[in-house]
Amino acid sequence: MRHGLLIVLFSLLCCGPLEAVETPLLRISAGEWPPYLSARVEHQGPVAHLISDLLAEEGYRVEFTFLPWPRAYAEAAAGRYDATAVWMHKAEREADFLFSAPLLNEQFVFFHLKTQPFDWRHFDDLSGMTLGGGLEYSYGPAFDAFLAKEKVRIERVSSDRQNFEKLLKERVVLYPQELNVGYAALRNEFSREDAERITHHPKPLLVNLSYLMLPKRLTQSETLRERFDARLQQFRQDGRYQQYFDALQAGHYQPVPEQASP
């Protein structure tokens, strides 16, 4: 018995230390959408932070790669990434991807100057107004159809900064944008004095859901989606989900120095 134990110990010593099992890596493509997702903010934004923490509890490391949105989609659809974040549901995307449970509730509102009080119930209440907007930007099928009637004028430019500058100069009356995206742009790109001149109407223009998409081309996607959805539900039930977005409202997820960006 004693000799047997010595043989076992000797064998273990000869074999050397057991190699540590490396945590599997998941690579996720994403587009820049501050403050929710960005290589230039803390933790890459609350949505990236949430996804990373959620999957860490499933035993994965997560690496985000930020690309132009069309490329983020195409590269993931081709199976070069394990997932892509975050996207609204469209039927045509089901050809390439499986959709997770809803990951983000987006709320689009009308921003306006505090000196120009504004109220609305129906789209027709906006008739005759000049709006700011994003290039090739959709505000949902209903509002896009209203814009097509040309009862309002919409001046489209390429950035939030340009739209808010036009609002401050009273060149447009309203600017529709996602609530947190709009206020992040005001905090990060304008003086406090100018930012405080702007508010938003509480009635949402659009409430939209966004999802993590997993490529159908990869065999692991179905299992990964099931694990992701179950863990996301757990985060929602125990209150951890909301903590990321409460932190955003409290001023966390600030821009990081450019040299420190991933």
Task: Identify the H or E element spanning 36.
Answer: none
The 10s digit of each residue's pLDDT in 41-69 is 999 999 999 999 999 999 999 999 999 88
Helices assigned H by DSSP within 149-239: 160-168, 179-189, 192-195, 221-237
**The domain made up of 24-104+208-248 is a member of CATH 3.40.190.10:** yes
Single pTM value for the model? 0.73
User: Length of the chain in residues, anyone?
Assistant: 262
Strand partners, 37: 33
Residue 91 has pLDDT above 50, yes or no: yes
Task: Band the pLDDT of 12: cuts 50, 70, 90.
Answer: very low
From the number of C-beta atoms within 10 Å of its C-beta (0-12, 13-18, 19+), residue 18 rates as exposed
Same fold flag, 24-104+208-248 and 105-204: yes
**Cα Rg of the chain (Å, integer):** 24
CATH T-level topology, domain 105-204: D-Maltodextrin-Binding Protein; domain 2 (3.40.190)
CA distance 150 to 127: 9
Q: Greater confidence, 163 or 8?
A: 163
Please tell me the predicted confidence (pLDDT) of residue 21: 63
Spatial contact of 42 and 254, defined as CB atoms under 8 Å apart: yes
Instruction: Give me the pLDDT at residue 4, please.
Output: 53
Nearest C-alpha neighbor of 93 from the set 107, 73, 72, 78: 73
Pairing of strands 104-113, 206-215: antiparallel
pLDDT number for residue 25: 97
Write down the pLDDT at residue 136: 66
pLDDT in tens, 196-221: 999 999 999 999 899 999 999 999 99
The torsion angles phi and psi of 190, rounded to 5 degrees, stand at -130, 160
CA distance 19 to 217: 32
Q: Label residue 18 by pLDDT band (50, 70, 90).
A: very low
The more confident residue out of 115 and 117 is: 115
Q: Alpha-carbon distance 231 to 54, whole Å?
A: 6
Please state, in angstroms and rounded to a whole number, the distance separating the CA atoms of residues 221 and 223. 6
Domain locations in the chain as residue ranges: 24-104+208-248, 105-204
Mean pLDDT across the chain, nearest whole number?
89
Q: Using 50, 70 and 90 to split pLDDT, how confident is the model at 9?
A: very low
- Residue 134's pLDDT is 85
Q: What is the pLDDT of residue 78?
A: 97
Beta strands 83-88 and 175-178, pairing class: unpaired
pLDDT at residue 140, rounded to an integer: 80
pLDDT tens for residues 136-188? 677 888 998 999 999 999 999 988 999 999 999 999 999 999 998 898 889 88
CB-CB neighbours of 31 under 10 Å:
18
